[in-house]
């Protein structure tokens, strides 16, 4: 059951977006998020929608697959919308019932928020769907390089990629321990939330012990293979920009320019 | 001098008892080892006899409490050579999951060369060659999580081979594998030894795995208690039993036959040999 959770899902396909340098995708995503908050009128949202739709089309990731990923965040989205709806003060009251008033402004805010958040979520998941976790960590390492005087950038990236490697292994192990304990009468499925959390404790102890043992083994294996931090290290797959990457940057700046122009004009 | 040499090697683990009092535990007690380049050496021993501790000394993961370890004439206590030593003496561990670093097979094989600062095109060449050598080329783009135990161990071996070591130390590489996986891994190790002339030190407690070795050391309680060719070792069935080691079935059968008066030689290693010996009887 735990195996169903997938972190940093990747949808393998052979598209122009999949082949882009991961740095391009990260930067474009960030710019896209910024653009969503720069625009505040409907034509701006239309531009954002068109841009996103075009990206999805090019990426060859089926829309249904993207929307499936949104299900898990729908709850969060719902809460934000409801809060905006009922807590925005305004002059023109639309409806009042049982102490709750919904204003016209509130309704507008809620709709804007819903649009922004769903574009944001779809945009970011498009990035993770088209980029392998390894490429992502690689790109983050490169992008954060200027910060290496104050942050252990290489180490952070290494930690992330090791975590990505071991998450499925630990998930499988949790499953195994759970089943072993269930076979001996442990109950993880009934009772209220407090009881359930309490029942999880005996699961965590063996899991932690095993994780520490693995960490210890892995550290030794890495040292035995001459790992000694980022200094003097070369890369098997160094990142380098190619023609398409510059085109993508161009498209991105073009899009941002359109957003800014729209904002100024309207 | 040989490629690996230890002289009067002693290692004490420091443990703390309930009262936080320090106590030492002697895991290695005066081991002398000498390995010539290109040899295939096996180290046998029961659980806790100090095999892993010895292995970790050979590439400077541990340094001796007393005595000296030389790897290719470099003293492992000399910090300035530590990365040369680890490059020349590759190490494969028991648990295949806990030694694979990357999420893609080929990237894991490239991990060692990356650490050594090898140039990118050369890394690709080495990765291709090492994967070829262990027969895992078809899986180069796969995730290690989806491989069998024997395949994972072969990837781990490729990861070491890509560093172009002179010597490979394998610490019970087959302990967690099924019989098929065990065969795959041993085959690869023997090929490396034969074709690439890599020195191999195989640590194991499966006796069947040592019959092809050039020389065998048997350890017990941190000491080397027997050494010799496999035939010399396996002709001493009673002594081996005393060290809680199981003799291969054929050897045991031959031994029992001899005990009961049949005229077969000592130290029979293979079924074929026993068949020959028995046929010669009449
Ligand atoms: N980190 C440690 N701290 C204290 N004692 C240790 C440590 N590691 C190992 N020992 C002890 O040293 C002895 C030798 O251990 P070692 O792991 O070398 O044996 P081994 O022959 O590899 O055994 P196995 O077949 O189980 O792998 C054992 O008695 C063990 O309990
Ligand atoms: Mg051991």
The mean of the pLDDT values for chain B is 90
Pairing of the two strands A100-103 and A93-97: antiparallel
Window from A5-19, A48-62, A207-221, B12-26 with minimum mean pLDDT: A5-19
Q: Is the CB of B51 under 6 A from ligand 1?
A: yes
Over residues A187-201, the pLDDT tens digits come to 777 777 788 788 788
Q: Which residues pair with A102 in a beta bridge?
A: A95
Between A88 and B155, where is the model more confident? B155
Q: In b/e form, how buried is each residue of B151-187, taking b as 16+ CB within 10 angstroms?
A: bbbbbbbbbbbbbbbbbbbbbbbbebbeeebbebbbe
How far apart, in whole angstroms, are the C-alpha atoms of residue B79 and residue A101? Answer: 74
Q: pLDDT band at residue A8, thresholds of 50, 70 and 90?
A: low
Residue A217 to residue B107, Cβ atoms within 8 A: no
Write down the residue that tokens 């890509």 correspond to. B162
How far apart, in whole angstroms, are the C-alpha atoms of residue B159 and residue B150? Answer: 14
Q: pLDDT band at residue B17, thresholds of 50, 70 and 90?
A: confident
Report the pLDDT averaged over residues A239-264. Answer: 89
For residue B61, give the nearest of A165, A220, A235 by CB distance.
Answer: A220
The mean of the pLDDT values for chain A is 84
Report the pLDDT averaged over residues A74-81. Answer: 84
Phi and psi, residue A153, nearest 5°: -60, -50
Q: Which two tokens stand for residue A222?
A: 């890495």
Q: What is the pTM of this model?
A: 0.84
Over residues A84-127, the pLDDT tens digits come to 887 777 777 777 777 777 777 888 888 888 888 889 988 988 88
A264–chain B nearest CA distance, Å: 47
Which residues, at least 6 apart from B45, have a Cβ–Cβ distance to it below 8 Å? B51, B203, B205, B218, B219, B220, B243, B245
How far apart, in whole angstroms, are the C-alpha atoms of residue A260 and residue A35? Answer: 8
A33–chain B nearest CA distance, Å: 29
> Cα-atom radius of gyration of chain A, to the nearest Å?
23
How far apart, in whole angstroms, are the C-alpha atoms of residue B85 and residue B97? Answer: 24
Question: What was the pLDDT predicted at A1?
Answer: 38
- Looking from the CA of residue B45, the nearest atom of ligand 1 is 21
Report the pLDDT averaged over residues A40-46. Answer: 84
Question: What was the pLDDT predicted at A194?
Answer: 83
For residue B4, the surrounding DSSP H or E stretch is strand B4-16
Strand blocks (E) in chain A: 93-97, 100-103
Q: Is the CB of B144 under 6 A from ligand 1?
A: no
Q: pLDDT band at residue B90, thresholds of 50, 70 and 90?
A: very high
For the cut 50, the answer to whether the pLDDT of residue A160 exceeds it is yes
How far apart, in whole angstroms, are the C-alpha atoms of residue B168 and residue B193? Answer: 9
How far apart, in whole angstroms, are the C-alpha atoms of residue B39 and residue A106? Answer: 80
Pairing of the two strands B4-16 and B22-35: antiparallel
How far apart, in whole angstroms, are the C-alpha atoms of residue A252 and residue A29? Answer: 9
Which chain A residues touch B101 with a CB distance below 8 Å?
161-162, 165, 218, 221-222, 225
Over residues B30-68, the pLDDT tens digits come to 899 999 999 999 999 989 999 999 999 999 999 999 999
Q: Which two tokens stand for residue B225?
A: 């208690």
For the cut 80, the answer to whether the pLDDT of residue A68 exceeds it is no
Write down the residue that tokens 């491989």 correspond to. B147
Report the pLDDT averaged over residues B136-160. Answer: 92
Q: Which two tokens stand for residue A125?
A: 């998941």
For the cut 50, the answer to whether the pLDDT of residue B158 exceeds it is yes
Q: Which two tokens stand for residue B20?
A: 């936080």
Of these ranges, B18-22, B126-130, B180-184, the one predicted with the greatest mean pLDDT is B126-130
Q: Is A69 on the interface with B (CB under 8 A)?
A: no
Question: What was the pLDDT predicted at A65?
Answer: 81
- Looking from the CA of residue B56, the nearest atom of ligand 1 is 18
Q: What angle do CA A137, A140, A141 make, to 5 degrees?
A: 85
Q: Which two tokens stand for residue A132?
A: 């392998």
Reported residue count of chain B is 282
Going by alpha carbons, the residue nearest to atom 4 of ligand 1 is: B13
For the cut 80, the answer to whether the pLDDT of residue B211 exceeds it is yes
Going by alpha carbons, the residue nearest to atom 1 of ligand 1 is: B13
How far apart, in whole angstroms, are the C-alpha atoms of residue B185 and residue B262? Answer: 36
Window from A27-36, A90-99, B72-81 with minimum mean pLDDT: A90-99
Question: What was the pLDDT predicted at B142?
Answer: 87
The B-side interface with A (CB below 8 A) comprises 56, 59, 61, 83, 86-87, 90-91, 93, 95, 97-104, 106-107, 110-120, 123-124, 127, 144-145, 159-160, 163
Q: Which ligand is nearest to the CA of B45?
A: 1
Residue B159 to residue A225, Cβ atoms within 8 A: yes
How far apart, in whole angstroms, are the C-alpha atoms of residue A184 and residue B131? Answer: 43
Report the pLDDT averaged over residues B167-177. Answer: 93
- Which domains are delineated in chain B? 4-231 (3.40.50.300)
ipTM at complex level:
0.89
How far apart, in whole angstroms, are the C-alpha atoms of residue B59 and residue B171? Answer: 12
Over residues B236-274, the pLDDT tens digits come to 888 888 888 888 888 888 888 888 888 888 778 888 888
Domain range summary for chain A, segments of one domain joined by +: 2-265
């Amino acid at each position: 059951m735990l195996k169903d959770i997938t972190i940093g899902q990747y949808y393998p396909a052979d598209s122009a977006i999949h082949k882009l340098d991961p740095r391009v995708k990260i930067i474009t995503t960030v710019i896209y998020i910024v653009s969503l908050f720069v625009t505040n009128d409907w034509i701006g949202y239309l531009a954002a929608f068109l841009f996103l739709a075009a990206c999805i089309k090019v990426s060859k990731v089926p829309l249904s697959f993207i929307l499936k990923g949104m299900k898990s965040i729908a709850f969060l989205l719902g809460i934000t919308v409801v809060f905006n709806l009922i807590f925005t003060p305004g002059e023109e009251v639309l409806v009042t019932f049982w102490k709750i008033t919904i204003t016209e402004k509130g309704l507008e805010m809620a709709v804007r928020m819903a649009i922004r958040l769903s574009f944001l979520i779809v945009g970011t998941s498009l990035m993770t769907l088209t980029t392998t976790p390894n490429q992502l960590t690689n790109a983050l390492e490169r992008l954060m390089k200027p910060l290496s005087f104050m942050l252990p950038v290489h180490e952070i990236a290494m930690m992330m990629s090791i975590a990505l490697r071991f998450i499925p292994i630990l998930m499988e192990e949790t499953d195994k321990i759970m089943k072993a304990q269930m076979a001996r009468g442990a109950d993880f499925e009934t009772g209220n939330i407090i009881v359930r959390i309490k029942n999880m404790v005996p699961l965590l102890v063996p899991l932690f012990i095993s994780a520490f043992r693995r960490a210890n083994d892995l550290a030794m294996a890495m040292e035995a293979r001459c790992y000694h931090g980022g200094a003097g290290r070369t890369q098997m797959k160094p990142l380098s920009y190619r023609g398409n990457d510059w085109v993508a940057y161009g498209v991105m700046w073009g899009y941002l320019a359109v957003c800014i122009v729209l904002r100024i004009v309207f | 001098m040989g490629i690996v040499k230890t002289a009067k090697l002693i290692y004490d683990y420091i443990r703390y008892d309930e009262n936080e009092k320090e106590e030492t535990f002697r895991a290695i007690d005066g081991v002398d080892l000498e390995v010539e380049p290109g040899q295939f050496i096996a180290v046998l021993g029961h659980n806790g006899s100090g095999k892993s501790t010895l292995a970790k000394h050979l590439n400077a993961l541990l340094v001796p409490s007393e005595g000296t370890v030389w790897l290719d004439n470099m003293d492992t206590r000399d910090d300035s050579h530590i990365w040369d030593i680890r490059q020349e003496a590759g190490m494969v561990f028991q648990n295949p999951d806990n030694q694979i670093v990357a999420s893609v097979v080929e990237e894991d094989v490239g991990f060692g060369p990356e650490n050594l600062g090898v140039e990118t095109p050369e890394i690709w060449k080495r990765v291709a060659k090492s994967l070829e050598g262990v027969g895992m080329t078809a899986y180069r783009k796969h995730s290690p999580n989806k491989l069998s135990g024997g395949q994972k161990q072969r990837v781990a071996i490729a990861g070491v081979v890509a560093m172009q070591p002179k010597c490979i130390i394998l610490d019970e590489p087959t302990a967690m594998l099924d019989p098929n996986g065990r065969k795959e891994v041993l085959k690869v190790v023997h090929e490396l030894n034969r074709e690439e002339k890599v020195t191999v030190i195989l640590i194991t407690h499966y006796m069947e795995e040592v019959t092809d070795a050039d020389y065998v050391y048997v350890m017990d309680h941190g000491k080397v208690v027997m050494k010799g060719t496999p035939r010399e070792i396996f002709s001493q069935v009673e002594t081996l039993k005393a060290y809680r080691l199981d003799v291969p079935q054929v050897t045991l059968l031959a031994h029992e036959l001899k005990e009961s008066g049949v005229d077969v030689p000592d130290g029979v290693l293979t079924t074929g040999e026993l068949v020959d010996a028995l046929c010669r009887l009449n």
